[in-house]
A and B are shown apart, each in its own frame.
Chain A
Amino acid sequence: MNGQNPAVTIALVGQPNVGKSTVFNALTGQSQYVSNWPGKTCECQMGYFDFEGETICLVDLPGTYSLSASSVEERMAREFIIEHSPDVLLVILDAACLERNLYLVAELLCLPVPLVLGINRMDLAAAQEIHIEPQVLEAAIRVPVVPLIAQRGEGIEALIAAALQTAHHSAAWQPNRPIIRQDHQEVLLQIEGMIRKQVRAPYSSDWMAMKLLEGDGVVTETMKERLGADWEGVHALLIQHDDAFLAVAGGRYDWINRMVRAAVVRPRSGQVTVTDRIDRYATHPLWGLLILMAVMAGLFGFTFSLGIPLQGWLEEQVIQAAADSVPVLLSGSPNWLVGLSANGIIGGVGTLLTLLPILILFFTGMGLLEGVGYMARAAFVMDRWMHPLGLHGKSFLPLSFGVGCNVPAVMESRIIEEPTARLITILLTPMVPCFPRLSVVVLLAPIFFGGRAFAVCLLLFGLPLTFLVIFGKAFHELFQGGKHNAFIMELPLYQPPDWSAILKSVGQRVVDFLKGAGSVILVISVGLWALSYFPGGDINSSYLALWGHRLDPLGSLIGLDWRMAVALITSMLRSENTITTLAVLYGVGQDHLNFTEALTGQVLPAAALAFLAMQLLFIPCIATMAAIRNESKSWGWSLGYAGLRLVTSITVGILIYQGSRLFQWGG
């Protein structure tokens, strides 16, 4: 732990969107050291701070609704709490939905770690006329309860003081714990008796028994293994009581109702709140859709009206300047070293650098939408339209933003919690052609097709979208067996954005991308450069050209020569490269040929159509591939996906070329 020796370790827990990260930032804001907790699946942050002379280590556990084993985050949180046994838990609750948030507390109270409750957003709850009396709740649960307005820093000190107090007097900790509903109390005791001898510390037998009744996958597997032949008896009981989860969850909510009875006063139902008033339009089937379109247009406008000029500036002033200075700095060095530095390395770094403005702006916009609570509404409105692809509304945002740039769009798929749906979204998003890819088609179509260019473009743009639907249906059948995941989602109250939390998360995501994708982009960039340079020193005699020639038999099926194949491959570096590669290979600039003149008459219309279709369906650019790899955490899926795109692209190319010739068009 970096050599620091904290006196107290505190873990921060809470359901998603309760303002946990705001509390974490408020406490560790001045901290010199924030890092990820070392662990295989753990991505939780930790930081150090001093309070009243004590060094405290604060671990920010992922937001979880409960402690079941149904998601990686939930397993991680509970394993951390039980196995690393922090001195005290800080549980952050949202005042406006205290009852729901207390469900997690009901679970945490069954673990052997004392806890302190911080009720956040007291101001927002008061605005909703929800009145909470922390002292009454404290007396009921018999754990310290501290009211918070974390965004303004109110209550944070009292929270830490209460946590330290609890940590130092943990022996006296006797909370009021929830119990299972009466009709299942006996079977719980029975199971506990049967498994007691096989439960190992720090896990307790009553907790394990309860998790067995809940049908917890991980605990069931563990006990099955340890009990061996004795498992049969337990298993028979569990089957007999396979509805026990309702008794466990019901018991927890009974407990919650008892705890809040005197402590929380809600307004009479029928009271119309600000959230209700906004949602009358924002979640309406028609108005909601129009509002969503306007919001998306705003996000696009914001990202690209600022992002594209910034990209251009970086391109000219930084990357081009750096590339230009290389021959001067390295004068006297071999040509390949100059080429490697100027094109391979600076090219790769440049790809990363020019992505930054778009990433930062996009994530800020998305963070804002999430932070004010709109994102859940967007998902709600789009839900019915995404069902045919086996996806829920949440996948709409990554997919639609793919038009702008696939890289942040793929990264945005992490808003989808369910792993299979997330993977499908990661793989479908790059089917949406991004602006640069579309612009290549728009630029080339008039050269090949003259007056018919517009119709050709429309036809071509429909192609990747058709494949999006085909792949969506196929993935849905293959990965999910055609079944839909349950669509249940909380719609949070609208609230003012917490800029410090938004900007911090933007920073984290950008760093995460650079770390995860940076090296991949650099390596492929240098590799592609080397292939286009060696052995001859120029692209016409390079390995890439050599392989291009080898592909001639395949190319002849599509009516393309090696130059087109090479252009497709270099488009992986950046989509716009198709144009520059074609320009070099077709000798633009020699004999005063301009781009249009150089290409006119070189390619048959049927072949040109096949080429443009292939360009849209070809393997995504390396930055997107790196993002796919980073988000799916799997080389298998990433490379398999690249293969799928390659095969699709070639097949479609052949079909278009041969089909056109068959019908005597453009042959």
Chain B
Amino acid sequence: MENQPRTLHPSQSYGENEIREIPLSSLPAGKTGVVCQLEGGKEFTARVACLGFTLGAQVTVLQNYGRGPMIVSLLGAHIALGRGEARRIQVQPL
């Protein structure tokens, strides 16, 4: 139960064709994605949801050097997050 992925409600999915989902950690700097799934337990989900990583939220990557922590822009705020954390947030690139 704990680790079941939390997916976007069917009524809220984007586009007709299934767009590919990638982890936020793979989104290069300058690109924007829409949060579509949060993995990794209730505690983690609650913490990131609180910060605005809710399903459907738009995230823009500001810094991603391929390793180490990254920086994203969300709701106008800059948020630093570890690569491990970013891997658990699935996005659909815009």
Contact = CB atoms under 8 A, between A and B. Distances in A.
Interface string B58-77: 00101101011101011111
B28 interface: no
Contacts of B76: 96-100, 130, 266
B49 A245 contact: yes
A354 to B, nearest CB: 38
A330 interface: no
Interface residues of A, number: 44
A376 to B, nearest CB: 7
A249 B50 CA distance: 6
B69 A383 contact: yes
A79 interface: no
A491 interface: yes
A618 interface: no
A65 B38 CA distance: 20
Contact of B51 (A266, A279, A488): A488
Contacts of B84: 484, 486-487
A243 B38 CA distance: 10
A190 B80 CA distance: 38
Given A66-B50, A269-B60, A488-B82, A245 B69 contact: no
A380 interface: yes
A283 B78 CA distance: 12
Sorting the interface of chain B by its residue count into under 10, 10 to 19, 20 to 34 or 35 or more gives 35 or more
Interface in A200-253: 214-215, 239, 242-243, 245-246, 249-250, 253
Interface string B8-51: 01000000000000000000000010000010001011111111
A384 interface: yes
Interface string A13-43: 0000000000000000000000000000000
A276 to B, nearest CB: 8
A527 interface: no
Interface string A370-384: 000000100110011
Given A215-B46, A245-B42, A486-B44, A253 B77 contact: no
A100 B32 CA distance: 18
28 contacts: A65-B51, A96-B76, A99-B77, A100-B51, A103-B50, A239-B1, A243-B6, A245-B45, A245-B46, A246-B38, A246-B45, A250-B49, A253-B57, A275-B78, A276-B62, A279-B62, A283-B63, A383-B69, A484-B82, A486-B85, A487-B84, A488-B47, A488-B48, A489-B79, A490-B51, A490-B79, A490-B80, A491-B78
B42 A215 contact: yes
Contacts of B55: 246, 250
A380 B51 contact: no
A285 interface: yes
Given A215-B42, A269-B60, A384-B68, A486 B52 contact: no
Contact of A487 (B49, B57, B63, B82): B82
B71 A214 contact: no
A486 B47 contact: yes
A246 B6 contact: yes
A493 B73 CA distance: 12
B70 to A, nearest CB: 10
A560 B59 CA distance: 64
A245 B2 CA distance: 13
Given A103-B50, A242-B42, A491 B6 contact: no
Between B6, B42, B63, B78, the greatest number of chain A beta carbons within 10 A of the residue's beta carbon is seen for B78
A578 interface: no
B75 A380 contact: no
B50 A487 contact: no
A183 interface: yes
B50 A380 contact: no
A149 to B, nearest CB: 19
Interface in A66-100: 66, 68, 70, 96-100
A489 B70 CA distance: 11
Given A242-B1, A242-B42, A487-B85, A65 B50 contact: yes
Nearest to B5: A243
Contacts of B69: 380, 383-384, 393, 487
A250 B77 contact: no
A292 to B, nearest CB: 14
Contacts of B4: 242-243
Contact of A490 (B49, B54, B78, B85): B78
Nearest to B74: A100
B52 A99 contact: yes
Contact of B50 (A68, A183, A239, A269): A68
Q: Which 5 A-B pairs have the closest CB atoms?
A: A487-B82, A249-B49, A99-B75, A97-B77, A491-B78
Contacts of A489: 79-81
B80 A487 contact: yes
A489 B49 CA distance: 13
A130 B4 CA distance: 39
A253 B52 contact: yes
A183 B73 CA distance: 28
A169 to B, nearest CB: 32
A376 B80 contact: yes
A66 to B, nearest CB: 5
Contacts of B54: 246, 249-250, 253
A383 B51 CA distance: 20
Contacts of B63: 279, 283
Interface in A94-144: 96-100, 103, 130
A266 B75 CA distance: 10
A179 to B, nearest CB: 14
Given A100-B52, A246-B38, A68 B80 contact: no
Contacts of A250: 49, 54-56
Contacts of B50: 65-66, 68, 103, 249
